Amino acid sequence: MAETARPTHPLSTAQAWEFTAERAPETIFFFDFDGVLSPVTDDPDASQPAAAVPGVLEQLAAAVRRVAIVSARPVSFLRSRFASLERVDLYGLYGLEVWHEGQVVTEPAALPWVPAMEDLAERARAELPSAILVEFKRLSVALHYRTAPQLAAQVEQWGHEQAERLGLKIQAGRMVVELKPPVDQDKGMVITEGVRDAACAWYFGDDMSDIKAFDALRAREAVDPAFFGMAVAVANPETGTEVSNAADLTLDSPEAVAEFLTDGLKVMR
């Protein structure tokens, strides 16, 4: 297929897929998990990918250079949901953990913080109202107030106090406050590194941490006119407006993401 000039943003969905199809061997697709590949649930442990997602990701991985999931979840959780996928890389805990070619690699600078995170989770369960779901992720602690939104201010204040006391980073999200080690790693850094030698990349996200990934695509475009990035938001009632405003296009749900990819694969064949 003849080479075409790089389109400018915004562009139609059809143009984006056509441009991607021309560069499929040099294209990478990145996805957040919660809210993008899986509906958000009150109990994080109950989250499952939308029915069509695993199959379409496997097809996509066969059509492009690389597919990766970049999530706040631990790699162990992602593996439990996508054990059948052989060609999809997994980035857990904002990139502090990576599953690649059958191995888990953990950022060495984060490992000494495991005991502190465990102690923090115990402290949260003791000091916060029982309605707050405390999720211990080995290298981070997430405080979910989805079932008790009236406690948001209390959770946020407690989280900021602990972050200051222990020297931790804090990440706000969809009805959650997450505390993590003071290690320089986030989704934007994962994407910056991941697209260094790519000609095209897509990122699908729904939360505030995903905007850094969108920004990483924009930054790559700014320094490499030959690179093309697409930022896709998934609508939601909590952070949807801010994330959509930072994206090139918005889809309605994880099910819509699977349908969108299925349609795109038809263009790429």
pLDDT in tens, 103-117: 889 999 999 999 999
Q: Name the residue among 73, 74, 69, 72 with its Cα closest to residue 58.
A: 69
Second CATH level (architecture) for the domain 111-180? 2-Layer Sandwich (3.30)
For the annotated catalytic residues, the residue numbers are: 32
Under the banding of pLDDT at 50, 70 and 90, the label for residue 8 is: low
Torsion of the alpha carbons at 68, 254, 57 and 30, rounded to the nearest 10: -20
The fold of 13-107+188-268 is Rossmann fold (3.40.50)
134: pLDDT confidence band, cut at 50, 70 and 90? very high
Residue 10's pLDDT is 58
H helices of 70-196, in order, are 75-81, 114-127, 152-166, 187-194
Give the C-alpha separation, 36 to 205, whole Å: 6
Averaged pLDDT for residues 76-83: 94
At residue 269 the predicted structure's pLDDT band, cuts being 50, 70 and 90, is confident
Share of the chain above pLDDT 90, in %: 83
Domain layout of the chain by residue ranges: 13-107+188-268, 111-180
Mean pLDDT value of segment 239-248: 89
Secondary element (H or E) of residue 227: none
Give residue-wise pLDDT tens across range 41-56. Answer: 989 999 999 999 999 9
- pLDDT per residue as tens digits for the range 194-229: 999 999 999 999 999 999 999 999 999 999 988 999
pLDDT over 70 percentage in the chain: 96
- pLDDT at residue 3 above 70? no
